[in-house]
Amino acid sequence: MIGAHLPALQVVVPLIAAPVCVLLRRPRLAWGLATLINWICFGVATALLARVLTEGSISYPLGGWAAPWGIEYRVDVVNAFVLVIVAGVSALVVLFARASVEKEIPAERIYLFYTLWLLCVTGLLGMAVTGDAFNLFVFLEISSLSSYALISLGPERRALTAAYRYLVMGTIGATFILIGIGLLYMMTGTLNMMDLARHLPAVAGTRTVIVAFGFLTVGISLKIALFPLHSWLPNAYTYAPSAVSALLAATATKVGVYMLLRFFFTIVGPYFSFEVMAEGGLLIAIALLATVFGSVVAIFQDNIKSMLAYSSIAQIGYMVLGISLVSVTGLTAGIVHLFNHALIKAGLFMAVGCLAFRLRAVTLQEIAGIGRYMPWTMAAFVVGGLSLIGVPLTVGFISKWYLVLGALERSWWPVAGIILFTSLLAVVYIWRVVEAAYFRTAPNRGHPTRFQEAPWSMLVPTWVVILANVYFGISPSFPIDIAQRAAQALLSPLP
């Protein structure tokens, strides 16, 4: 019986847990509930992925009303993969969060923190699993609102301005997406994604649909912080609580990119997106600019969290680049990078979270010589950094490999060149951290407890993610296989 309800349970379980968490109030209880629920979500997501891989896509009519009259949950390879990424990262980061949050957030607000965490996961999973365009917007609102609030709980006061800025930009993005969905509804009379895809070709040439497409593209680009609409991201990730930076960097933008894939490929169709609207050329240019801009600015950051945040802007560029190649290889690269970048950034932000647990600030000055005192943390950072650069035997290499292959398939040599060039830039900014941590002498530190390694409850989840970077770098067949199937599904015409 549970098997048939898996798509609904994926979202309903954390949704019900959130109000329960409000009632618990005790910090440890709230954390325990959040952990339990996150692991259940991860279990449901893997079960869904396994089912989709063997049986094909699953449809679940909510309220018992068949689509397009009711809302449909529709799970195929693409979103099952996204569900596993979101639920898996969240399950690992929430383990890491306990100690980190107790240090960074006042005890009386911790239960609110975990409630918001559950709501954020609810929103992200709900966006990924749904087959209804308006339902996607509703869960986008849940995930966005809870992200703003999570960021605002950051330990420094600047978290408030960062969250406010994200609120304004995010709301504009969400409004644009809503306008786009509204216009599409006006022209087709339906909100179901599959149904939209069937009805849109008849009205594809109308100015209303073209405008809808523009609003959706800009709105989603704002949400995923695609250059030049990225301005909210660096401060949001820098001043958020450490665990939130890890969660959002690894999941929120991924679901945003998934949204882009759904609208471009499933709803509007690759033909309209890339041939009629000539979106491809523009997106490639923007994506390349994003990779160069993000990587260059990252080099000049002294705060390690903002360095990683700017690097995220570059990484989003890679994903969009892969997508805008509109080939199986390119899409595979984009989708597999969703998975790989989630592992890379979750690992790196968790390592930085370990540093933040012991240090006053995670700046290059503060971490001078820290490699000797926090060997496990810094080793994790180095492995994660190598993966970010794209060194062989790490997942970063797999992404870059497929991306370069995709570019070469189209014999776009300059594009491949820029990918390699930005990887070199990544070497520079990762090296700055390594140099400060290992090759600079520690300043005279006041209190000996500050020299200690982070607690194991933070180190173990960090290392699990870091080792996953290596494991899936050495045997990448699992994510690659799924990404390839997802790419083929997105490019094939509708049944």
Partner 1 sequence: MIDIVLLSFLAVIALAIVRLRDLFAVVMLTGFYSLLSAALFVVLDAVDVAFTEAAVGAGIATILMLGTLGRIAGEPREHRERPWLPMLVVLITGGALLYGTLDMPHYGDPNAPVNLHVVPRYIEDSLAEIGVPNIVTSVLASYRGYDTLGETTVILTAAIGVMGLLQGRRRKTPGSKAPPASSNKRPRRASGVTGMLGNTMQHHLILHVIAKLLVPFILLFALYVQFHGDFGPGGGFQAGVIFAAGFILYGLIFGVNDAGLVASPATVRLLIAAGLLLYAGVGVATMLLGGQFLDYSVLSTEPIKGQHLGIMLIEFGVGTTVAATMVRLFYLFSR
Per-residue string for binding with partner 1, 150-189, x by CB under 8 A? --xx------x------------------x---x-xxxxx
Q: How many residues of this chain interact with partner 1, rule: CB under 8 A?
A: 62
- Rounded Cα distance, 136 and 147, in Å: 16
Interface stretch with partner 1, choices 5-13, 89-97, 249-257, 411-419 (CB under 8 A): 5-13
H or E segment and range at residue 354: helix 328-358
Specify the residue, 125 or 403, whose C-beta has the smaller distance to partner 1. Answer: 125
- Rounded Cα distance, 124 and 138, in Å: 11
Does residue 90 belong to the site contacting partner 1 (CB under 8 A)? Answer: no
Specify the residue, 3 or 448, whose C-beta has the smaller distance to partner 1. Answer: 3
Per-residue string for binding with partner 1, 99-118, x by CB under 8 A? -------x-xx--xx-xx--
Q: Quick one: the chain helix, strand, coil %, rounded to 5?
A: 80, 5, 20
- Rounded Cα distance, 374 and 356, in Å: 12
Specify the residue, 65 or 439, whose C-beta has the smaller distance to partner 1. Answer: 65
Could you tell me the smallest distance in angstroms from the CB atom of residue 99 to partner 1? 20
Question: Which residue among 36, 40, 141, 302 contacts partner 1 (CB under 8 A)?
Answer: 141
Does residue 287 belong to the site contacting partner 1 (CB under 8 A)? Answer: no
Contact of 338 with 419, CB cutoff 8 Å: no
Could you tell me the smallest distance in angstroms from the CB atom of residue 113 to partner 1? 7
- Residue 453: φ, ψ to 5°: -70, 155
Does residue 210 belong to the site contacting partner 1 (CB under 8 A)? Answer: yes
Does residue 263 belong to the site contacting partner 1 (CB under 8 A)? Answer: no
Residues 340-369 that bind partner 1 (CB under 8 A): none
Question: Which residue among 103, 165, 199, 440 contacts partner 1 (CB under 8 A)?
Answer: 199
Question: Which residue among 31, 42, 81, 215 contacts partner 1 (CB under 8 A)?
Answer: 215
List the structure tokens of 258. 């998934």
Question: Which residue among 56, 65, 281, 435 contacts partner 1 (CB under 8 A)?
Answer: 65
Specify the residue, 97 or 416, whose C-beta has the smaller distance to partner 1. Answer: 97
Does residue 468 belong to the site contacting partner 1 (CB under 8 A)? Answer: no
Does residue 211 belong to the site contacting partner 1 (CB under 8 A)? Answer: yes
Classified as helix, coil or strand, 438 is: helix
Could you tell me the smallest distance in angstroms from the CB atom of residue 280 to partner 1? 21
Interface stretch with partner 1, choices 210-218, 247-255, 366-374, 417-425 (CB under 8 A): 210-218
List the structure tokens of 494. 């509708």
Tell how far CA 201 is from the center of its chain.
Answer: 31
Contact of 86 with 124, CB cutoff 8 Å: yes
- Residue 72: φ, ψ to 5°: -115, 135
Distances (CA, A) of 298 to 67, 140, 291: 46, 28, 11
| β 72-75/58-61 pair status | antiparallel
- Rounded Cα distance, 394 and 426, in Å: 15
Interface stretch with partner 1, choices 31-39, 65-73, 411-419, 456-464 (CB under 8 A): 65-73
Question: Which residue among 6, 34, 62, 415 contacts partner 1 (CB under 8 A)?
Answer: 62
Does residue 278 belong to the site contacting partner 1 (CB under 8 A)? Answer: no
Could you tell me the smallest distance in angstroms from the CB atom of residue 427 to partner 1? 35
Specify the residue, 135 or 238, whose C-beta has the smaller distance to partner 1. Answer: 135
Residue of 44, 72, 49, 78 whose CA lies nearest to 59: 72
* Residue 271 exposure: Cα atoms within 13 Å on the Cβ side: 8
Question: Which residue among 41, 71, 236, 368 contacts partner 1 (CB under 8 A)?
Answer: 71
Does residue 413 belong to the site contacting partner 1 (CB under 8 A)? Answer: no
Does residue 146 belong to the site contacting partner 1 (CB under 8 A)? Answer: yes
Specify the residue, 189 or 443, whose C-beta has the smaller distance to partner 1. Answer: 189
Going 36 to 39 to 45 to 48, the CA torsion angle's sign is: negative
Contact of 457 with 99, CB cutoff 8 Å: yes
- Residue 73: φ, ψ to 5°: -95, 130
Residue holding tokens 């929430």? 94
List the structure tokens of 320. 């969009």
Give the Cβ contact number of residue 223 at 10 Å: 27
Does residue 201 belong to the site contacting partner 1 (CB under 8 A)? Answer: no
Identity of the residue numbered 423: S
Residue holding tokens 């801009």? 293
> Which residues here bind partner 1, judged by CB under 8 A?
5, 8, 12, 15-16, 18-20, 22-23, 60-65, 68-71, 106, 108-109, 112-113, 115-116, 119, 122, 126, 134-135, 138-139, 141-142, 145-146, 148-149, 152-153, 160, 179, 183, 185-190, 199, 203, 206-212, 214-215
